[in-house]
Amino acid sequence: MKNVTITLDERTAQWIRVYAAKRATSVSRIVGELLRERMHEQHDYDASMRLYLAKKPVRLGVQRGVYPKRDDLHERSGLR
């Protein structure tokens, strides 16, 4: 384990101390678990993004070679 120092405003520090005490754990453990979760989420996201970006682009199928106009795609006549 590696020790690190973090700086919190007084209100946040008080809240996390109470939160940790209610769960019979330490502030250090809570922060460590939170950071570990974020690290895994980031790793999973990065892996998914690499897979997505590795895929070959797909050409859009267009009827008669004409793309629809933006206004046709986003028609909201009831809101105007």
Which residues contact residue 26 at a Cβ distance below 8 angstroms, ignoring those fewer than 6 apart?
20
Which is more confident, 61 or 30?
30
Token duo for residue 28: 């250090």
| pLDDT interval class at 54 (50, 70, 90) | very high
All structural domains of the chain with their residue ranges: 31-55
2 pLDDT higher than 80? yes
Chain mean position to CA 72: 32
| pLDDT interval class at 48 (50, 70, 90) | very high
